[in-house]
Chain A
Amino acid sequence: MIIDANTWIGHWPFRSLPKRSARDLLEQMDRLKISKALVGNLNGLLYKDVHESNHELAAEIQRHADRLVPCALINPLYDGWRDDLRQCREKFGMPVLRLTPDYHGYALSDPCASELISEAHGLGMRVAFYWRIVDPRGRHWLDPGREADGALVEQVMAQFPEHPFLMLNFTRVLSRPDTQAPCLYDITYFLGRNGLLLMDHLAAHGAARFVLGTTMLMRYGSAPLLALEKCELSSKEREAILWRNIAKLIPELS
């Protein structure tokens, strides 16, 4: 079994994506033998009323609930966000909230960020931080996205010591005291040095800290799977990264 912790459907406004729909994503997943995926809707990054993208996502994947598990996008500066978040959890069954503060006009240091995280935890949701949505070297001039400040992310996480977070598109493992719940990192950006970089990170942090993430449909999906295939791992470690770690964090994926 393989579970992808980091996929998107929808329209990316700054570049034409060749594939955008749930059906497209499922085709790619089939090709790569991925059973299930956490999926977000790119449309929600720039809508004024972000919650419309959650409605769209729920409708789009309704017929594929056995394979696609939706992730919510919420703007805590927009009126009614608490009701929207509750609807995401209770009506749409979304177990994960993805934070994309640059696109919604707030900072992780703002009180509203902590309020949003706290509210999501109160609803039994897991929260995902993004290091970045796109590589800054190729960023569109109107794209508000920037790389997250690692120290700031650590500060925000420290406010919720008992909660594990999902860390997406990060390039390094942030420090977190051993007494706090460990976070899971997707391996998307732990690639390089002809495959040796991932091996180094796995040796340093252990397989229990990583999950598979491809970032499809924004990017090609094979690279992290290929890197993982070439790593010297026990079958138990490989299974942990491919699906067990994320399934344990998000029971809806089991």
Chain B
Amino acid sequence: MIIDCHGHCSIDGSYSLSADDTVRSLDLYGVDQICCSAPVTSGDAEPGLIRQRNDLILGAMRKYPDRIMGMCFVNPGHAREAQDEITRCVVDNGMVGVKLYNQYRICDTVQFPIIERCIDLGVPILMHAGYPAAPELRALQPRISTGMHFAGAARRYPEALLICAHIGGGGDWERQLKGLREAPSVYVDTGGSVIDAGMIERCVRELGIERILFACDGSLERGLGKIRDANLTDSERASLYSANFLKILARRKI
């Protein structure tokens, strides 16, 4: 079984791929399920827009309940609305976790109520992350979370299910791993367009296979290709492809 734990789509194709195209791709590449979100990645992530985005995911989930799972995007800067949206999407409508982008770092105090709510619900937080190597690229995302930021959040909340997104998302992934070594409770997903040789083996060596989750983040061919090529045992590949993420989903309390 293969589950892509980090993808994006929408019911109508207005954000990333449509649900129909997404499922067509899953069928083509032999992926069983995908976990999708529709975060606001630039401009003002205001509550009205966030609700619209999450509705795009809810529509996709309803059309393909056996194939598409949803992650509820929220902006912790709108604290009350973020909690309401988690209630609407996760508690009432079956989304499996919360998606955070780069509006704040994972260790910022504004995140604490979100993290605490997710601990209460037993659901994971998938957070956009990376260390853009070039200063001009870092300046574009001043609040992007690095491995060290995850380590800070994990020290405060070791029981939280934190997922550091797309180790291949572009940026200095080796540097990310240094920070994540200090955060034994944090998972990392393998998504992103970067397919540097040795990257997956380094993740396993530094973090252990039980902390690695399969993901593509929009490129199934790269996502699957790097796992095929990585020097892993069948057992490790099975853990990575779905078993680790299924264990996370099993911790849901609602």
A: residues with CB less than 8 A from B are 15-19, 135-141, 191-196, 198, 216-227, 230
Contact = CB atoms under 8 A, between A and B. Distances in A.
B229 A220 contact: yes
26 contacts: A15-B196, A16-B198, A19-B197, A136-B133, A136-B137, A137-B130, A137-B132, A137-B137, A191-B221, A193-B218, A194-B21, A195-B29, A195-B220, A196-B25, A198-B221, A216-B197, A218-B197, A220-B195, A221-B225, A223-B221, A223-B224, A224-B221, A226-B29, A226-B221, A226-B225, A226-B228
Contacts of B220: 194-195
Nearest to A141: B133
Given A220-B197, A230-B28, A138 B172 contact: yes
Interface of B: 17, 21-22, 25, 28-29, 130, 132-134, 137, 170-174, 193-199, 201, 216, 218-222, 224-226, 228-230
Contacts of A139: 133-134
A210 to B, nearest CB: 15
Contacts of A135: 170, 193-194
A225 to B, nearest CB: 8
Contacts of B198: 16-18
A170 to B, nearest CB: 15
Nearest to A24: B197
B221 to A, nearest CB: 4
Given A139-B133, A220-B230, A230-B28, A193 B219 contact: yes
Contacts of B193: 135, 191-192
A19 B197 CA distance: 8
B195 A219 contact: yes
The 9 closest A-B pairs by CB, nearest first: A223-B225, A137-B170, A222-B225, A194-B25, A220-B229, A227-B221, A18-B198, A223-B222, A194-B220
B197 A226 contact: no
Nearest to A222: B225
A138 B221 contact: no
B137 A218 contact: no
A7 to B, nearest CB: 11
Contacts of B132: 137
Contacts of B222: 191-192, 223
Contacts, number: 107
A196 B196 contact: no
A226 B219 CA distance: 11
Which residue of A194, A217, A220 has the most chain B CB atoms within 10 A of its CB atom? A194
Contact of A226 (B21, B194, B196, B224): B224
Contact of A194 (B170, B216, B230): B216
Contacts of B170: 135, 137-138
Given A15-B174, A19-B197, A226-B29, 5 more contacts: A136-B134, A137-B171, A138-B170, A219-B196, A220-B197
A29 to B, nearest CB: 12
Contact of B29 (A15, A140, A191, A230): A230
Contacts of B25: 194-196
B219 A194 contact: yes
Contacts of B226: 220, 222-223
Contacts of B219: 191-195, 223
Given A191-B221, A196-B21, A218 B29 contact: no
A224 B29 CA distance: 13
Contacts of A230: 28-29, 221
A196 B220 CA distance: 10
Nearest to A139: B133
Nearest to B224: A226
Given A137-B137, A221-B229, A222-B226, A192 B197 contact: no
A200 to B, nearest CB: 12
B165 to A, nearest CB: 14
B196 A194 contact: no
Nearest to A227: B221
A48 B239 CA distance: 47
A140 B225 CA distance: 25
B134 A194 contact: no
Contacts of B196: 15, 138, 218-220
Nearest to A137: B170
Contacts of A221: 225, 229
Contacts of B216: 194
A254 B226 CA distance: 29
A80 B216 CA distance: 48
